[in-house]
Amino acid sequence: MGIQYLPLAAPIVLLIVAMLAVMRPGRRPGALPRLAEGAALFALLAAGASLLALLTAGPSTSPLIGLKGLGLSARIDAVSVTMLLLVSFVGWVVVRYSRTYLDGEAREGAFAGWLSAAIASVLLLVGAGNLVQLAVAWMATSFCLHKLLLFYVDRRPAQRAARKKALFSTFGAIALVGAVATLAMAFGTTDIAAINATVRGGETPGGVLVAAILLAIAAVLKSAQFPTHGWLTEVMEAPTPVSALLHAGVINAGGFLLIRMADVMLAAPGVLALLAMIGGFTAIFGAAVMLTQPAVKTSLAWSTVAQMGFMILQCGLALFPVALLHIVAHSLYKAHAFLASGGAVEQVAAIRRPGPVAVPSGGAVGRAFFLALAIYAAIGTGFGLAFGFEHKSPQALALGAILIFGVAYLLAQGLADAAPRPLTRRTALYSLAAAIGYFSLQSLAEWMTRGTLPVTPAPGPLEWTLIALALLSFGTVAIAQALFLLWVGHPAAAGLRVHLSNGLYANAALDRLLGGWSVGRA
Protein backbone atom coordinates (compact mmCIF):
# COMPACT_ATOMS: atom_id res chain seq x y z
CA MET A 1 0.00 0.00 0.00
CA GLY A 2 1.35 3.43 -0.94
CA ILE A 3 2.13 5.99 1.70
CA GLN A 4 -0.82 8.11 0.55
CA TYR A 5 -3.25 5.40 1.69
CA LEU A 6 -2.01 5.37 5.32
CA PRO A 7 -5.14 7.06 6.75
CA LEU A 8 -7.26 4.23 5.33
CA ALA A 9 -5.31 1.39 6.94
CA ALA A 10 -6.33 1.94 10.57
CA PRO A 11 -10.11 2.16 9.94
CA ILE A 12 -9.97 -1.14 8.06
CA VAL A 13 -8.29 -2.87 11.02
CA LEU A 14 -10.80 -1.39 13.45
CA LEU A 15 -13.72 -2.48 11.27
CA ILE A 16 -12.36 -6.04 11.24
CA VAL A 17 -12.45 -6.01 15.05
CA ALA A 18 -16.00 -4.65 14.91
CA MET A 19 -17.06 -7.56 12.69
CA LEU A 20 -15.45 -10.06 15.07
CA ALA A 21 -17.63 -8.64 17.84
CA VAL A 22 -20.70 -10.02 16.08
CA MET A 23 -19.56 -13.52 17.08
CA ARG A 24 -18.81 -12.59 20.73
CA PRO A 25 -21.28 -9.86 21.76
CA GLY A 26 -21.73 -10.97 25.38
CA ARG A 27 -19.89 -10.94 28.70
CA ARG A 28 -16.09 -11.42 28.72
CA PRO A 29 -15.70 -11.98 24.95
CA GLY A 30 -12.26 -13.58 25.10
CA ALA A 31 -9.50 -11.64 23.36
CA LEU A 32 -11.85 -9.14 21.71
CA PRO A 33 -11.16 -6.22 24.12
CA ARG A 34 -7.41 -6.74 23.70
CA LEU A 35 -7.82 -6.84 19.91
CA ALA A 36 -9.81 -3.60 20.04
CA GLU A 37 -7.06 -1.94 22.09
CA GLY A 38 -4.43 -3.25 19.68
CA ALA A 39 -6.36 -1.92 16.69
CA ALA A 40 -6.70 1.49 18.38
CA LEU A 41 -2.96 1.54 19.09
CA PHE A 42 -2.30 0.65 15.44
CA ALA A 43 -4.47 3.62 14.45
CA LEU A 44 -2.29 5.88 16.60
CA LEU A 45 0.88 4.51 14.99
CA ALA A 46 -0.63 4.95 11.52
CA ALA A 47 -1.47 8.57 12.38
CA GLY A 48 2.14 9.09 13.44
CA ALA A 49 3.30 7.60 10.15
CA SER A 50 0.96 9.99 8.31
CA LEU A 51 2.64 12.87 10.12
CA LEU A 52 6.05 11.66 8.92
CA ALA A 53 4.66 11.36 5.39
CA LEU A 54 3.41 14.94 5.57
CA LEU A 55 6.77 16.23 6.83
CA THR A 56 8.75 14.37 4.19
CA ALA A 57 6.51 14.45 1.11
CA GLY A 58 4.16 17.36 1.79
CA PRO A 59 0.35 17.46 1.43
CA SER A 60 -1.20 14.90 -0.90
CA THR A 61 -4.43 13.12 -1.79
CA SER A 62 -4.40 9.44 -2.67
CA PRO A 63 -5.92 8.22 -5.95
CA LEU A 64 -9.57 7.30 -5.59
CA ILE A 65 -10.37 3.65 -4.91
CA GLY A 66 -13.65 3.59 -6.81
CA LEU A 67 -15.39 5.04 -9.84
CA LYS A 68 -16.82 8.43 -10.84
CA GLY A 69 -16.06 10.15 -7.54
CA LEU A 70 -17.57 7.31 -5.48
CA GLY A 71 -15.13 5.44 -3.28
CA LEU A 72 -12.27 5.88 -0.83
CA SER A 73 -9.43 8.36 -0.92
CA ALA A 74 -7.19 9.76 1.79
CA ARG A 75 -6.06 13.34 2.32
CA ILE A 76 -2.76 14.00 4.11
CA ASP A 77 -2.33 17.64 5.15
CA ALA A 78 -2.03 19.67 8.35
CA VAL A 79 -5.75 19.50 9.13
CA SER A 80 -6.25 15.78 8.52
CA VAL A 81 -3.04 14.69 10.26
CA THR A 82 -3.85 16.81 13.32
CA MET A 83 -7.29 15.24 13.55
CA LEU A 84 -5.99 11.72 12.87
CA LEU A 85 -3.49 12.04 15.72
CA LEU A 86 -6.13 13.47 18.03
CA VAL A 87 -8.89 10.95 17.26
CA SER A 88 -6.57 7.93 17.35
CA PHE A 89 -4.99 9.02 20.65
CA VAL A 90 -8.31 9.72 22.37
CA GLY A 91 -9.76 6.55 20.85
CA TRP A 92 -6.89 4.43 22.15
CA VAL A 93 -7.24 5.90 25.65
CA VAL A 94 -11.02 5.33 25.65
CA VAL A 95 -10.71 1.74 24.40
CA ARG A 96 -8.04 0.97 27.00
CA TYR A 97 -10.17 2.51 29.74
CA SER A 98 -13.21 0.53 28.58
CA ARG A 99 -11.45 -2.82 29.05
CA THR A 100 -11.56 -2.30 32.81
CA TYR A 101 -14.66 -0.13 33.07
CA LEU A 102 -16.96 -2.59 31.26
CA ASP A 103 -15.34 -5.82 32.38
CA GLY A 104 -18.11 -8.30 33.15
CA GLU A 105 -20.95 -6.30 31.54
CA ALA A 106 -23.61 -8.40 29.82
CA ARG A 107 -22.96 -6.80 26.39
CA GLU A 108 -19.24 -6.16 26.74
CA GLY A 109 -18.37 -7.66 23.35
CA ALA A 110 -21.01 -5.62 21.52
CA PHE A 111 -19.72 -2.46 23.17
CA ALA A 112 -16.15 -3.18 22.05
CA GLY A 113 -17.39 -3.76 18.51
CA TRP A 114 -19.46 -0.59 18.24
CA LEU A 115 -16.71 1.46 19.89
CA SER A 116 -14.19 0.19 17.31
CA ALA A 117 -16.64 0.93 14.50
CA ALA A 118 -17.25 4.45 15.82
CA ILE A 119 -13.54 5.25 15.97
CA ALA A 120 -13.07 3.81 12.47
CA SER A 121 -15.89 6.01 11.16
CA VAL A 122 -14.42 9.17 12.69
CA LEU A 123 -10.99 8.32 11.24
CA LEU A 124 -12.53 7.86 7.79
CA LEU A 125 -14.30 11.19 8.24
CA VAL A 126 -11.28 13.29 9.23
CA GLY A 127 -8.99 11.61 6.68
CA ALA A 128 -11.44 11.79 3.78
CA GLY A 129 -10.09 13.02 0.48
CA ASN A 130 -13.47 13.23 -1.24
CA LEU A 131 -16.91 14.49 -0.30
CA VAL A 132 -18.73 11.20 -0.78
CA GLN A 133 -16.48 9.40 1.70
CA LEU A 134 -16.86 12.31 4.13
CA ALA A 135 -20.66 12.15 3.95
CA VAL A 136 -20.84 8.36 4.33
CA ALA A 137 -18.41 8.42 7.26
CA TRP A 138 -20.45 11.26 8.80
CA MET A 139 -23.60 9.13 8.74
CA ALA A 140 -21.75 6.00 9.90
CA THR A 141 -20.39 7.93 12.89
CA SER A 142 -23.92 8.97 13.88
CA PHE A 143 -25.19 5.41 13.53
CA CYS A 144 -22.41 3.90 15.65
CA LEU A 145 -22.83 6.58 18.31
CA HIS A 146 -26.56 5.84 18.40
CA LYS A 147 -25.79 2.21 19.18
CA LEU A 148 -23.37 3.22 21.94
CA LEU A 149 -25.85 5.65 23.49
CA LEU A 150 -28.35 2.79 23.71
CA PHE A 151 -25.92 0.39 25.38
CA TYR A 152 -28.32 0.26 28.34
CA VAL A 153 -31.38 -0.27 26.17
CA ASP A 154 -33.89 -0.36 29.03
CA ARG A 155 -33.07 3.09 30.38
CA ARG A 156 -35.79 5.54 29.43
CA PRO A 157 -33.61 8.69 29.54
CA ALA A 158 -31.09 7.00 27.23
CA GLN A 159 -33.85 6.20 24.74
CA ARG A 160 -35.10 9.78 24.82
CA ALA A 161 -31.68 11.30 24.26
CA ALA A 162 -30.82 8.83 21.50
CA ARG A 163 -34.10 9.45 19.65
CA LYS A 164 -33.66 13.21 19.82
CA LYS A 165 -30.07 13.00 18.63
CA ALA A 166 -31.13 10.68 15.79
CA LEU A 167 -33.68 13.27 14.66
CA PHE A 168 -31.14 16.10 14.44
CA SER A 169 -28.52 13.78 12.96
CA THR A 170 -30.95 12.84 10.19
CA PHE A 171 -31.61 16.47 9.29
CA GLY A 172 -27.88 17.20 9.47
CA ALA A 173 -27.10 14.27 7.18
CA ILE A 174 -29.73 15.43 4.68
CA ALA A 175 -28.16 18.89 4.65
CA LEU A 176 -24.67 17.43 4.17
CA VAL A 177 -25.78 15.18 1.31
CA GLY A 178 -27.41 18.19 -0.31
CA ALA A 179 -24.17 20.18 0.05
CA VAL A 180 -22.14 17.32 -1.43
CA ALA A 181 -24.47 17.02 -4.42
CA THR A 182 -24.44 20.79 -4.96
CA LEU A 183 -20.64 21.03 -4.83
CA ALA A 184 -20.18 17.98 -7.07
CA MET A 185 -22.43 19.48 -9.75
CA ALA A 186 -20.90 22.95 -9.45
CA PHE A 187 -17.24 21.86 -9.60
CA GLY A 188 -17.50 18.61 -11.53
CA THR A 189 -15.50 16.74 -8.87
CA THR A 190 -15.83 15.43 -5.33
CA ASP A 191 -12.15 15.93 -4.48
CA ILE A 192 -12.04 18.20 -1.42
CA ALA A 193 -8.61 19.70 -2.11
CA ALA A 194 -9.53 20.50 -5.71
CA ILE A 195 -12.76 22.24 -4.68
CA ASN A 196 -11.04 24.36 -2.03
CA ALA A 197 -8.20 25.24 -4.41
CA THR A 198 -10.65 26.35 -7.09
CA VAL A 199 -12.51 28.66 -4.72
CA ARG A 200 -9.25 30.03 -3.31
CA GLY A 201 -8.17 30.80 -6.86
CA GLY A 202 -11.12 33.14 -7.25
CA GLU A 203 -13.60 30.91 -9.08
CA THR A 204 -17.01 30.62 -7.41
CA PRO A 205 -19.42 28.62 -9.59
CA GLY A 206 -23.12 28.91 -9.01
CA GLY A 207 -24.39 26.92 -6.08
CA VAL A 208 -21.53 27.76 -3.71
CA LEU A 209 -23.81 29.89 -1.51
CA VAL A 210 -26.39 27.10 -1.33
CA ALA A 211 -23.66 24.60 -0.46
CA ALA A 212 -22.28 26.89 2.25
CA ILE A 213 -25.74 27.23 3.81
CA LEU A 214 -26.23 23.45 3.82
CA LEU A 215 -22.75 22.88 5.28
CA ALA A 216 -23.53 25.39 8.04
CA ILE A 217 -26.82 23.63 8.85
CA ALA A 218 -25.05 20.27 9.07
CA ALA A 219 -22.34 21.72 11.32
CA VAL A 220 -24.81 23.47 13.64
CA LEU A 221 -26.91 20.33 14.10
CA LYS A 222 -23.85 18.14 14.65
CA SER A 223 -22.33 20.52 17.20
CA ALA A 224 -25.44 20.78 19.37
CA GLN A 225 -25.90 24.53 18.92
CA PHE A 226 -28.82 26.33 20.54
CA PRO A 227 -31.68 25.40 20.42
CA THR A 228 -30.80 21.84 19.33
CA HIS A 229 -28.40 21.29 22.26
CA GLY A 230 -30.76 19.34 24.51
CA TRP A 231 -29.75 15.84 23.48
CA LEU A 232 -26.11 16.47 24.40
CA THR A 233 -27.03 17.20 28.02
CA GLU A 234 -29.25 14.10 28.24
CA VAL A 235 -26.81 11.36 27.16
CA MET A 236 -25.37 10.80 30.64
CA GLU A 237 -27.10 7.40 30.83
CA ALA A 238 -24.48 5.98 28.44
CA PRO A 239 -21.27 4.50 29.90
CA THR A 240 -18.55 7.02 30.78
CA PRO A 241 -16.27 5.94 27.86
CA VAL A 242 -19.08 6.84 25.46
CA SER A 243 -19.37 10.29 27.03
CA ALA A 244 -15.61 10.76 26.69
CA LEU A 245 -15.62 9.71 23.02
CA LEU A 246 -18.67 11.84 22.24
CA HIS A 247 -17.57 15.02 23.99
CA ALA A 248 -13.90 14.72 23.02
CA GLY A 249 -14.32 13.41 19.48
CA VAL A 250 -17.63 12.98 17.69
CA ILE A 251 -19.08 16.34 18.72
CA ASN A 252 -16.17 18.11 16.97
CA ALA A 253 -17.30 16.84 13.55
CA GLY A 254 -19.34 19.98 12.89
CA GLY A 255 -16.38 22.26 13.47
CA PHE A 256 -14.12 19.98 11.46
CA LEU A 257 -16.55 20.15 8.52
CA LEU A 258 -16.38 23.95 8.49
CA ILE A 259 -12.58 23.89 8.77
CA ARG A 260 -12.22 21.27 6.04
CA MET A 261 -14.42 23.31 3.69
CA ALA A 262 -13.04 26.68 4.86
CA ASP A 263 -12.54 28.13 1.38
CA VAL A 264 -16.13 27.37 0.42
CA MET A 265 -17.39 28.96 3.64
CA LEU A 266 -15.33 32.12 3.02
CA ALA A 267 -17.22 32.58 -0.24
CA ALA A 268 -20.41 33.12 1.82
CA PRO A 269 -19.65 35.86 4.40
CA GLY A 270 -23.31 36.18 5.34
CA VAL A 271 -23.40 32.51 6.35
CA LEU A 272 -20.25 32.97 8.44
CA ALA A 273 -21.85 35.95 10.18
CA LEU A 274 -24.88 33.86 11.07
CA LEU A 275 -22.62 31.12 12.41
CA ALA A 276 -20.78 33.67 14.56
CA MET A 277 -24.05 34.86 16.11
CA ILE A 278 -25.34 31.33 16.76
CA GLY A 279 -22.01 30.19 18.17
CA GLY A 280 -21.53 33.26 20.34
CA PHE A 281 -24.97 32.97 21.91
CA THR A 282 -24.56 29.22 22.45
CA ALA A 283 -21.20 29.80 24.15
CA ILE A 284 -22.59 32.36 26.61
CA PHE A 285 -25.77 30.37 27.21
CA GLY A 286 -23.94 27.07 27.80
CA ALA A 287 -21.37 28.62 30.12
CA ALA A 288 -24.04 30.31 32.24
CA VAL A 289 -26.09 27.12 32.60
CA MET A 290 -22.97 25.06 33.35
CA LEU A 291 -22.28 27.11 36.51
CA THR A 292 -25.67 26.10 37.99
CA GLN A 293 -25.42 22.32 37.50
CA PRO A 294 -24.93 20.19 40.65
CA ALA A 295 -23.80 16.97 38.92
CA VAL A 296 -20.25 16.67 37.55
CA LYS A 297 -21.09 14.93 34.26
CA THR A 298 -24.04 17.24 33.56
CA SER A 299 -21.84 20.25 34.21
CA LEU A 300 -19.24 18.84 31.81
CA ALA A 301 -21.95 18.32 29.18
CA TRP A 302 -23.02 21.96 29.42
CA SER A 303 -19.36 22.92 29.25
CA THR A 304 -19.18 21.09 25.92
CA VAL A 305 -22.20 23.03 24.67
CA ALA A 306 -20.38 26.26 25.53
CA GLN A 307 -17.10 25.10 23.98
CA MET A 308 -18.79 24.01 20.76
CA GLY A 309 -20.48 27.40 20.60
CA PHE A 310 -17.13 29.12 20.98
CA MET A 311 -15.67 26.91 18.24
CA ILE A 312 -18.51 27.82 15.86
CA LEU A 313 -17.93 31.48 16.76
CA GLN A 314 -14.28 31.09 15.75
CA CYS A 315 -15.30 29.57 12.43
CA GLY A 316 -17.85 32.35 11.91
CA LEU A 317 -15.04 34.90 12.38
CA ALA A 318 -12.97 32.96 9.78
CA LEU A 319 -10.38 31.99 12.41
CA PHE A 320 -10.10 28.44 11.10
CA PRO A 321 -6.56 27.68 12.38
CA VAL A 322 -7.58 28.82 15.87
CA ALA A 323 -10.74 26.69 15.65
CA LEU A 324 -8.60 23.65 14.83
CA LEU A 325 -6.41 24.42 17.84
CA HIS A 326 -9.56 24.74 19.95
CA ILE A 327 -10.71 21.27 18.87
CA VAL A 328 -7.41 19.74 19.98
CA ALA A 329 -7.32 21.53 23.33
CA HIS A 330 -10.97 20.87 24.15
CA SER A 331 -10.81 17.21 23.16
CA LEU A 332 -7.80 16.43 25.32
CA TYR A 333 -9.04 18.11 28.47
CA LYS A 334 -12.65 16.95 28.07
CA ALA A 335 -11.65 13.30 27.56
CA HIS A 336 -9.58 13.49 30.74
CA ALA A 337 -12.39 15.27 32.59
CA PHE A 338 -14.96 12.56 31.81
CA LEU A 339 -12.67 9.60 32.41
CA ALA A 340 -11.50 11.11 35.72
CA SER A 341 -14.92 12.40 36.82
CA GLY A 342 -15.38 9.69 39.47
CA GLY A 343 -12.06 10.46 41.12
CA ALA A 344 -12.77 14.17 40.95
CA VAL A 345 -15.99 13.73 42.93
CA GLU A 346 -14.10 11.83 45.64
CA GLN A 347 -11.42 14.53 45.82
CA VAL A 348 -13.98 17.33 46.11
CA ALA A 349 -15.81 15.46 48.86
CA ALA A 350 -12.55 15.15 50.81
CA ILE A 351 -11.67 18.86 50.60
CA ARG A 352 -12.16 20.80 53.81
CA ARG A 353 -14.62 23.63 53.78
CA PRO A 354 -12.63 26.77 52.92
CA GLY A 355 -12.36 29.80 55.14
CA PRO A 356 -13.77 33.26 54.39
CA VAL A 357 -13.81 34.13 50.70
CA ALA A 358 -12.18 37.33 49.50
CA VAL A 359 -15.01 39.17 47.78
CA PRO A 360 -13.79 41.62 45.11
CA SER A 361 -15.40 45.04 45.14
CA GLY A 362 -16.48 46.92 42.04
CA GLY A 363 -13.19 48.82 42.10
CA ALA A 364 -11.19 45.59 42.29
CA VAL A 365 -13.09 44.19 39.32
CA GLY A 366 -12.43 47.35 37.32
CA ARG A 367 -8.72 47.25 38.14
CA ALA A 368 -8.61 43.53 37.25
CA PHE A 369 -10.09 44.06 33.80
CA PHE A 370 -7.85 47.03 33.11
CA LEU A 371 -4.75 45.10 34.22
CA ALA A 372 -5.71 41.97 32.24
CA LEU A 373 -6.24 43.94 29.04
CA ALA A 374 -3.03 45.90 29.63
CA ILE A 375 -1.08 42.64 29.98
CA TYR A 376 -2.75 41.31 26.84
CA ALA A 377 -1.95 44.50 24.90
CA ALA A 378 1.67 44.44 26.03
CA ILE A 379 2.19 40.79 25.09
CA GLY A 380 0.35 41.31 21.80
CA THR A 381 2.57 44.26 20.97
CA GLY A 382 5.64 42.17 21.72
CA PHE A 383 4.49 39.41 19.39
CA GLY A 384 3.57 41.99 16.77
CA LEU A 385 7.05 43.52 16.89
CA ALA A 386 8.63 40.06 16.69
CA PHE A 387 6.47 38.53 13.94
CA GLY A 388 4.82 41.50 12.25
CA PHE A 389 1.53 43.15 13.07
CA GLU A 390 0.13 42.24 9.67
CA HIS A 391 -0.11 38.60 10.78
CA LYS A 392 -2.57 39.42 13.58
CA SER A 393 -6.09 39.88 12.27
CA PRO A 394 -8.57 42.03 14.22
CA GLN A 395 -10.72 38.91 14.64
CA ALA A 396 -7.87 37.05 16.35
CA LEU A 397 -7.08 40.01 18.60
CA ALA A 398 -10.74 40.28 19.61
CA LEU A 399 -10.89 36.56 20.33
CA GLY A 400 -7.84 36.86 22.56
CA ALA A 401 -9.46 39.74 24.43
CA ILE A 402 -12.51 37.54 25.09
CA LEU A 403 -10.28 34.84 26.51
CA ILE A 404 -8.53 37.42 28.69
CA PHE A 405 -11.91 38.36 30.19
CA GLY A 406 -11.82 34.97 31.89
CA VAL A 407 -8.37 35.74 33.25
CA ALA A 408 -9.67 39.07 34.57
CA TYR A 409 -12.07 37.10 36.77
CA LEU A 410 -9.09 35.41 38.42
CA LEU A 411 -7.31 38.71 38.77
CA ALA A 412 -10.33 40.16 40.54
CA GLN A 413 -9.97 37.53 43.26
CA GLY A 414 -6.32 38.40 43.66
CA LEU A 415 -6.98 42.16 43.80
CA ALA A 416 -9.75 41.92 46.40
CA ASP A 417 -8.98 43.90 49.57
CA ALA A 418 -8.89 40.76 51.73
CA ALA A 419 -6.87 38.69 49.26
CA PRO A 420 -3.47 37.47 50.49
CA ARG A 421 -0.38 38.68 48.65
CA PRO A 422 0.55 35.18 47.31
CA LEU A 423 -2.88 34.95 45.64
CA THR A 424 -2.37 38.35 44.02
CA ARG A 425 1.02 37.30 42.65
CA ARG A 426 -0.28 33.97 41.35
CA THR A 427 -3.23 35.50 39.53
CA ALA A 428 -0.93 38.09 37.92
CA LEU A 429 1.41 35.32 36.75
CA TYR A 430 -1.55 33.31 35.42
CA SER A 431 -2.69 36.34 33.42
CA LEU A 432 0.76 36.78 31.94
CA ALA A 433 1.01 33.07 31.09
CA ALA A 434 -2.46 33.05 29.50
CA ALA A 435 -1.63 35.98 27.20
CA ILE A 436 1.72 34.46 26.17
CA GLY A 437 0.10 31.07 25.67
CA TYR A 438 -2.66 32.44 23.46
CA PHE A 439 -0.36 34.34 21.11
CA SER A 440 2.15 31.48 21.00
CA LEU A 441 -0.39 28.77 20.23
CA GLN A 442 -2.23 30.97 17.75
CA SER A 443 1.02 31.68 15.89
CA LEU A 444 1.87 27.97 15.92
CA ALA A 445 -1.55 26.99 14.55
CA GLU A 446 -1.34 29.55 11.77
CA TRP A 447 2.17 28.44 10.85
CA MET A 448 1.20 24.75 10.78
CA THR A 449 -1.84 25.30 8.58
CA ARG A 450 -0.31 27.91 6.25
CA GLY A 451 -1.17 26.93 2.70
CA THR A 452 -3.78 24.41 3.88
CA LEU A 453 -6.29 26.81 5.42
CA PRO A 454 -7.12 30.24 4.00
CA VAL A 455 -5.86 33.43 5.62
CA THR A 456 -8.44 35.28 7.69
CA PRO A 457 -9.70 38.13 5.47
CA ALA A 458 -9.78 41.76 6.61
CA PRO A 459 -13.08 42.49 8.36
CA GLY A 460 -15.75 44.51 6.64
CA PRO A 461 -18.57 46.49 8.29
CA LEU A 462 -20.52 43.32 9.10
CA GLU A 463 -17.49 41.62 10.67
CA TRP A 464 -16.62 44.73 12.71
CA THR A 465 -20.18 44.77 14.04
CA LEU A 466 -19.91 41.11 15.04
CA ILE A 467 -16.55 41.72 16.73
CA ALA A 468 -17.96 44.63 18.73
CA LEU A 469 -21.06 42.62 19.66
CA ALA A 470 -18.95 39.66 20.81
CA LEU A 471 -16.66 41.84 22.93
CA LEU A 472 -19.61 43.62 24.52
CA SER A 473 -21.52 40.39 25.24
CA PHE A 474 -18.64 38.37 26.66
CA GLY A 475 -17.31 41.38 28.57
CA THR A 476 -20.68 42.00 30.21
CA VAL A 477 -21.00 38.36 31.25
CA ALA A 478 -17.45 38.31 32.62
CA ILE A 479 -18.06 41.44 34.71
CA ALA A 480 -21.35 40.03 36.02
CA GLN A 481 -19.59 36.81 37.02
CA ALA A 482 -16.77 38.69 38.76
CA LEU A 483 -19.35 40.70 40.75
CA PHE A 484 -21.53 37.65 41.44
CA LEU A 485 -20.82 37.48 45.17
CA LEU A 486 -21.95 41.08 45.53
CA TRP A 487 -25.42 40.48 44.12
CA VAL A 488 -25.95 36.77 44.88
CA GLY A 489 -28.13 37.65 47.88
CA HIS A 490 -30.63 39.59 45.78
CA PRO A 491 -33.99 37.75 45.37
CA ALA A 492 -33.73 38.06 41.60
CA ALA A 493 -30.45 36.09 41.66
CA ALA A 494 -32.16 33.05 43.19
CA GLY A 495 -34.82 33.08 40.50
CA LEU A 496 -32.25 33.50 37.76
CA ARG A 497 -30.30 30.53 39.11
CA VAL A 498 -33.41 28.33 38.98
CA HIS A 499 -34.14 29.34 35.39
CA LEU A 500 -30.52 28.81 34.33
CA SER A 501 -30.31 25.42 36.03
CA ASN A 502 -33.20 24.35 33.78
CA GLY A 503 -31.49 25.69 30.66
CA LEU A 504 -34.05 28.52 30.37
CA TYR A 505 -36.50 25.70 29.49
CA ALA A 506 -35.39 25.70 25.86
CA ASN A 507 -35.06 21.92 25.79
CA ALA A 508 -38.48 21.46 27.41
CA ALA A 509 -40.01 23.73 24.79
CA LEU A 510 -38.36 21.69 22.06
CA ASP A 511 -39.72 18.46 23.58
CA ARG A 512 -43.20 19.95 23.54
CA LEU A 513 -42.72 21.07 19.95
CA LEU A 514 -41.79 17.50 19.00
CA GLY A 515 -45.07 16.37 20.51
CA GLY A 516 -43.66 13.51 22.56
CA TRP A 517 -41.78 11.93 19.66
CA SER A 518 -38.43 12.19 21.44
CA VAL A 519 -39.72 10.28 24.48
CA GLY A 520 -41.24 7.48 22.45
CA ARG A 521 -44.94 8.40 22.70
CA ALA A 522 -45.31 8.82 18.96
Per-residue pLDDT tens for 68-108?
Answer: 778 888 899 999 999 999 999 999 999 998 888 887 777 88
Model confidence band, residue 391 (pLDDT cutoffs 50, 70, 90): low
Model confidence band, residue 123 (pLDDT cutoffs 50, 70, 90): very high
Count of beta carbons in the 10 Å neighbourhood of residue 491: 7
Residue 89: its pLDDT value, please? 93
- Whether residue 144 contacts residue 121, with contact meaning beta carbons closer than 8 Å, is answered with yes
Count of beta carbons in the 10 Å neighbourhood of residue 465: 12
Q: Average pLDDT in the 342-356 region?
A: 52
Tell me which of 138 and 2 has the higher pLDDT: 138
Tell me which of 235 and 97 has the higher pLDDT: 97
CA atoms within 13 A on the CB side of 483: 17
Report the C-alpha gap between 14 and 390 in whole angstroms.
Answer: 45
Tell me which of 351 and 212 has the higher pLDDT: 212
Q: Average pLDDT in the 29-57 region?
A: 90
* Mean pLDDT score across all residues of the chain: 83
Q: Residue 459 pLDDT more than 60?
A: yes
Model confidence band, residue 117 (pLDDT cutoffs 50, 70, 90): very high
Lowest mean pLDDT among 51-55, 242-246, 278-282, 352-356: 352-356
Residue 382: its pLDDT value, please? 75
Q: Residue 371 pLDDT more than 60?
A: yes
Report the C-alpha gap between 453 and 266 in whole angstroms.
Answer: 11
Lowest mean pLDDT among 380-384, 495-499, 502-506: 380-384
Residue 167: its pLDDT value, please? 87
Q: By percentage, how much of the chain surpasses pLDDT 90?
A: 34
Q: Average pLDDT in the 433-449 region?
A: 84
Residue 112: its pLDDT value, please? 87
Q: Average pLDDT in the 167-186 region?
A: 94
The neighbouring-strand residues paired with 76 are 60
What's the whole-model pTM score?
0.90
Model confidence band, residue 342 (pLDDT cutoffs 50, 70, 90): low
Q: Average pLDDT in the 172-195 region?
A: 94
Tell me which of 108 and 325 has the higher pLDDT: 325
- Whether residue 33 contacts residue 3, with contact meaning beta carbons closer than 8 Å, is answered with no
- Whether residue 259 contacts residue 314, with contact meaning beta carbons closer than 8 Å, is answered with no
| All residues at 6 or more sequence positions from 76 whose CB lies less than 8 Å from its CB, including other chains | 4, 6, 7, 50, 53, 54, 57, 59, 60, 61, 62, 127
Report the C-alpha gap between 4 and 500 in whole angstroms.
Answer: 50
Residue 413: its pLDDT value, please? 65
Q: Average pLDDT in the 232-258 region?
A: 84
Residue 522: its pLDDT value, please? 34
Q: Residue 297 pLDDT more than 60?
A: yes
Q: Residue 358 pLDDT more than 60?
A: no
Model confidence band, residue 130 (pLDDT cutoffs 50, 70, 90): very high
C-alpha distances in angstroms, 264 versus 407, 459, 490?
35, 17, 49
| DSSP state, residue 252 | G
Q: Residue 489 pLDDT more than 80?
A: no
Upstream peptide bond of 227 is cis (omega within 30 degrees of 0): yes
Model confidence band, residue 324 (pLDDT cutoffs 50, 70, 90): very high
pLDDT (tens digit per residue) in 209-220: 999 999 999 999
| All residues at 6 or more sequence positions from 420 whose CB lies less than 8 Å from its CB, including other chains | 358
